[in-house]
A and B are shown apart, each in its own frame.
Chain A
């Protein structure tokens, strides 16, 4: 895991409203949410499924899987005459969840202070001994909070797809699209394919990335604004890495970007799995478009081949140097091995980004016939 302090220190000064001396002590805690070492308490965090919020906005506050009303009644699909009207309904659903979770975080501290003093952590936190107060009871210099968001990239892709297919191209009416989502695309595969073909975040595509940025700005600010409402020093979005994207995926109906019900949501700030198909430079350019200075950290997973780490080490270093220079804040790096190629054969839809690279040759792994994939798999092992 690599962190870019040139970006993150100024970003944390702004996001957490602290001087540089304190911002320098930002620390990736837990699953990647930043805290200030010995000076702040900001986790355990709440978690919100933003993809579910979009589902509720598309279905008047009702869960598409159960029919139960779980969000504000923001209007039937047919009532949205413009994309902006749908966007507004979506923000109402988001704000409903964010407000509740901000109150919950405050409540957790209050109950914590009353019921458990957390004395060990209190001992390790600045100021507590001097003031004689427990960490959650006025002891920590900054009593803060973080809210984990899941499905950010799914939402961005889904909104891009809805705006294009429903409002710009009028390819499908919104009520009909919602029926297809409810039925998890049964009898609507051509529609699903046409939606999958629309621009996706992670390809340095202006349209798709602008939507991701718009959503990122909205939700980061909406969460940050809750700090003063509930009385925390800061309350900030984190886009981090654990299994919750899978758990929330199970609870989420099909989405307008072509995702099927139950599939995992995107991991961290990453594009939806397998949708970054324009190469690693385009992927990194997309990631760097999401501002880091109004939230408390995001995880960016990236997979590189073993060959890149050995034979092309200088190019790998240049790749990352350019990412940092472009404003990249963080990189969580995995080296791809043979198991990934096998997975690509089993589930090609998720591996469209896997490029077979031999000088001058151009092919995507999933487009090769099976016997040649096996062949390539065997050869890769020898390298």
Chain B
């Protein structure tokens, strides 16, 4: 991929992209291309993409560079190559991160460009931005993949570094506004899988019939990235999911009436 030397307004805004994956099968419906934008206001203790946290490009100990500047035009040139697969599978573009809305202008322009070409869009967001700006993205987002990380405010702040109020309120606002939302709940055994949190997930599922909720079980395969960046993952008193954890979560959620819960 060559950096576009064109700095005309048509190629602005430019963004910092740390990965661009074609054939993504787990980031929304169908076969997708996922664009990972660099930079995140949160510091989730379990983050598996630590190279996504800083906004500027950085180089790992192994010599790999994380992040490069790209224009909307350059990203779209890659995205539109798989249109035939989007059509056959109901897929499209997913913008992930980092927190993609932290590069707001670029993220919005990319969503707009995709929709202008009739490409389905997903936005993988934590929802930590002012409602009017999130609301403005609704026009160009077909599905919000929306993180729901912890219910207890103190725990939320401890685990993510930010207050729970804004992301929680924005989730409600999106649902009330009729947006298609797919809550994604990272669950860490012994850390945030308490009964109050599971109850809150269930309650959301009950209030919005048809809502599909993904449980994302904790894994530690991102730890190698911390090593490469010369950092260590924040201490976390958890463990990789066991069959017992899985059964207990699903039984709580299903017995409480949230049928459309998938463990990914």
Contacts and interface: CB of A to CB of B under 8 A. Distances in A.
A357 B26 CA distance: 7
Contact of B227 (A281, A360, A369): A369
Contact of A281 (B82, B216, B222): B82
A247 B174 CA distance: 61
A375 B124 CA distance: 27
B56 interface: no
Interface in B62-97: 64, 81-82, 84-85, 87-91, 96
Interface residues of B, number: 39
Interface string B195-223: 00000000000000000001010011111
Interface in A352-368: 355-363, 367-368
B221 A376 contact: yes
Contacts of A242: none
Given A315-B25, A372-B221, A321 B184 contact: no
Nearest to A305: B25
B214 A359 contact: yes
Given A318-B31, A321-B88, A322-B85, A363 B221 contact: yes
A312 interface: yes
B36 interface: yes
A353 B33 CA distance: 16
A9 B139 CA distance: 46
Classify chain A's interface size: 20 to 34
A280 B225 contact: no
Interface string B20-62: 0111111100110010100000000000110000000000000
A361 B221 contact: yes
Contacts of B48: 358, 360-361
A370 to B, nearest CB: 9
A279 interface: yes
Given A285-B81, A315-B31, A326-B84, A359 B184 contact: yes
A308 interface: yes
A221 B48 CA distance: 51
Top 4 nearest A-B pairs (CB, nearest first) are: A279-B23, A318-B89, A279-B22, A322-B88
Given A282-B81, A358-B264, 7 more contacts: A281-B81, A315-B89, A318-B88, A319-B88, A358-B26, A360-B27, A369-B227
